[in-house]
Amino acid sequence: MKIDPIELTKKLITFRSITPEDDGAIKYIASILKKSGFHCQILEYSNCRVKNLYAEYANGVPNLCFAGHVDVVHPGKLENWVSDPFKPEVRNGMLYGRGAADMKSGVAAFITAIVNSISNINGSITALITSAEESASEYGTQAILEWMNKRNKKIDYCIVCEPTSDEKLGDAIKIGRRGSITFKLICYGKQGHVAYPELADNAIYKLIDILNKIKSMTLDSGNKYFQPSHCEITTIDVGNSGNNVIPDLATAYFNIRYNNLHTSDSLYDLVNTICSNVTQDYKLLIHEDRKLFLSTLDRNTDIMLDAISKVTNVDAVFSTNGGTSDAAFIKDFCSVIEFGLINKTIHQVDECVLVDDIYKLTNIYEEFIKNYFYSDINKVDLISSIPNDPLLI
């Protein structure tokens, strides 16, 4: 079966898969993989309209996994786009459409690569595709992994095909991501008349005092693998409709992107101590918590470096910057890296990728697959050449 990754990307863009909908994309991909001998299981979560695909070509060990998502963020105002975001269009060698970069082209490239390679590999290949990466992740990759865990499905190595390149294809491989923890802080006071502050207790002042202290703390200065951790306050809500009333309640949300010098527990303790030094009338909750990951540099990262260099002539660097991704969940199953197209236009109006880069990415994945399944004798040589690094986990 012959697949053109450009045509497949274009087809995937036509599905209006605004997160967490898949709009038929999951079934379409399953039909392609089935024809190539993959066993496909669609995992549906009808309460939130999420569809996930678990596809497996079982042929012993090792089991190489590719992961991605077909959901996209909302295109925003359609009149701001030069062409319809769900009608793929090529202009000057660039393919335009919502999801062109994040990440329908990445999905198309790895589907093409695994279908093209399947008859020549000595092992198994698994594909995990979700419609809930941009939202509702508990029903997306997390849910697929729980489903796999219950059935004792194992994978040995995973490539998440998110767009990781910065300026040109192949310049960056993500070997980790910072963790992300969002706190909800509620401060309490006593309601009263603005003319009688001595009879009231304004909750806003406590909240602002705490937020100032949190914002001004230096969490760390980063290290070899990660940029410094930092905090952003995202919203402050009082909900006070009376301008002559001192409010008795104020709420804020803030997010900390943290590196491997912290854990979510250590950050909770730190923030909690700051709060309790200001007031006792507060509640601190963890609203959302995504753990960081940092992969070990090993034979497989070498294989990816070589594959990239062979196809693009670019020497990739290892990076951990940017937001979170599903790799943060997969890391609990096996070692994982992320590699894909240029991320410059993701989530933007007129999102686009170079058509030629989609072909190149497909070739890189094919080259990786070929060498990943190469003989064990070479594996030993490669592993022994990698120095131990105590900072890597």
Which CB, 103 or 129, lies closer to Zn ion?
A: 103
Least distance to Zn ion, CB of residue 182, Å: 19
- Can you read off the two tokens belonging to residue 183? 């706190």
Closest separation in Å from C-beta 203 to Zn ion: 38
Q: Nearer Cβ to Zn ion, position 103 or 231?
A: 103
Handedness of CA 43, 365, 135, 8 (dihedral sign): negative
Is 357 known to be catalytic? no
24 contacts 12 by C-beta, under 8 angstroms = no
Q: Answer for the pair 314, 197: CB distance below 8 angstroms, yes or no.
A: no
Nearer to Zn ion, 214 or 336 (CB): 336
Which of these is catalytic: 23, 71, 338, 351?
A: 71
Classify residue 322 as left (phi > 0), alpha (psi -120 to 50) or beta.
Answer: left
**Active-site entry in 21, 22, 23, 133:** 133
Taking the complex as a whole, the smallest distance from the CB of residue 75 to Zn ion amounts, in Å, to: 15
Is the Cβ of residue 23 or residue 102 nearer to Zn ion in the bound state?
102
Q: How far apart are CB 104 and Zn ion at their closest, in Å?
A: 10
Known catalytic membership, residue 146: no
Residue number, nearest CB to Zn ion:
102
Least distance in angstroms from the C-beta of 8 to Zn ion = 17
Q: Which is nearer to Zn ion, 343 or 363 (CB)?
A: 343
Cα dihedral 237, 240, 246, 251 in deg (nearest 10): -20
Q: Minimal distance in Å, beta carbon 162 to Zn ion? A: 5
Nearer to Zn ion, 164 or 295 (CB): 164
Residue 102 known to bind ligand: yes
Would you say 69 is a known binding-site residue? yes
Instruction: Tell me: is residue 357 an annotated ligand-binding position.
Output: no
- 134 marked as part of a ligand binding site: yes
State the residues that interact with Zn ion by CB under 5 A. Answer: 102-103, 162
Active site residue ranges: 71, 133
Return binding residues for Zn(2+): 69, 102, 134, 162, 347
Return binding residues: 69, 102, 134, 162, 347
